[in-house]
Amino acid sequence: MLNNIKIVYSGLDNAGKTTIIKFLESRQYGLNELKPTQGIERVEIQLSMDTQITQWDMGGQKKFRDEYLQRERDFHDTDLLFFVIDLSDERIDEAIDYLSSILQIIEKVNQNPLIVVLLHKKDLIQEISQLNDLVEKIKDKINSIKKNFQVRFFKTSIYDELSLLNSFSIGLATISRKARELNMELSKMANKVYADAILLIEKNGFIIGEYSKDEMSDHIVKSIYSYLALSFIDIIESNDEAAPNRMILDWNEKGYALMESVSLNNKPYYFIKYSKSSEKIIRKFVLRSILTSSEAVTNIIKNYF
């Protein structure tokens, strides 16, 4: 069965939608080559053999906005809506009005996707207090128009890859009813192998499962992920015979990490195990064998989407 996940990106023109989609698609897209999106464009990402994500990029120019609002079917079967707001744009109220109209349509066609609001281009607002004030103001306004929708907010920037990968991964995880189950399994495994944090990553580099003992471990493992995971995956995917399939990172006082490829249901996945102590990370083959032999994990992953 081919599973198609529909993700819609919306927001005013120039908010950064196309840049974000291209980044997620290729993770290495030049910033300066973009032309304004005319109408709707679709970008497809193959998640696994039988799961494909179609990202709908709805151009945000005024004339197109009015058109979408009249074409309800564009919002049918939406699994996830990313609404992108440019924090440096004066038209923030206009953006929120647009979101409000979209929510009305989605409600009318009886859909209930998670709404992920990307408070984007945070790099353009350097003063932290100014950024936080603005973000709080926008959150309040959106919370007052969100009806019964579940809304999550992320501060993002194309210059902070982690912020984008994180918001996207969390969005994907909410589509899967299996996400919580997978995270539970990972937390049990973390206990067995003395890990302070574990990330399970699929072949495009999206996090599908995670466990962290505390916020600090979460932050560290995500940093390792954002700096190294993508290059690590690229090296392994290169099929170079000399390419290693595991990597150990010694980060002095911050701790130790092990990154390794693993095959689950004959498909490639990656994990990062983080621990504050070196002896604990040395139990390096343990997690891999627990993961590959875990019927629970392989079953959850088989039916993840």
Candidates 7, 8, 37, 117: give the one binding ligand GDP (CB under 6 A): 37
CB 124, min distance to ligand GDP, A: 5
Q: Which CB, 23 or 271, lies closer to ligand GDP?
A: 23
Q: Would you count residue 120 as binding ligand GDP (CB under 6 A)?
A: yes
The angle that helices 179-192 and 295-302 make with each other, rounded to 10 degrees, is 160
DSSP E strands: which ranges in the chain? 3-10, 40-48, 51-58, 80-86, 114-120, 151-155, 197-201, 207-212, 246-250, 256-264, 267-275
Q: Which CB, 81 or 186, lies closer to ligand GDP?
A: 81
Is residue 27 within 8 Å of residue 237, measured between CB atoms? no
Q: Would you count residue 157 as binding ligand GDP (CB under 6 A)?
A: yes
CB 46, min distance to ligand GDP, A: 22
> How far is Cα 58 from Cα 11, in angstroms, rounded to an integer?
8
One-letter amino acid identity for 109? V
Candidates 23-31, 32-40, 215-223, 251-259; binding stretch for Mg ion (CB under 5 A): 32-40
Q: Would you count residue 60 as binding ligand GDP (CB under 6 A)?
A: yes
Candidates 6, 17, 155, 280: give the one binding ligand GDP (CB under 6 A): 17
Candidates 15-23, 188-196, 200-208, 224-232; binding stretch for ligand GDP (CB under 6 A): 15-23
Of 200, 85, 194, 202, nearest in space to 134 by CA: 85
Token reading at 140? 């309040």
Is residue 269 within 8 Å of residue 261, measured between CB atoms? yes
Q: Which of residues 225-264 bind ligand GDP (CB under 6 A)?
A: none
One-letter amino acid identity for 241? E
List of residues contacting Mg ion (CB under 5 A): 18, 37
List of residues contacting ligand GDP (CB under 6 A): 11, 13-19, 31, 34, 36-37, 60, 120-121, 123-124, 157-158
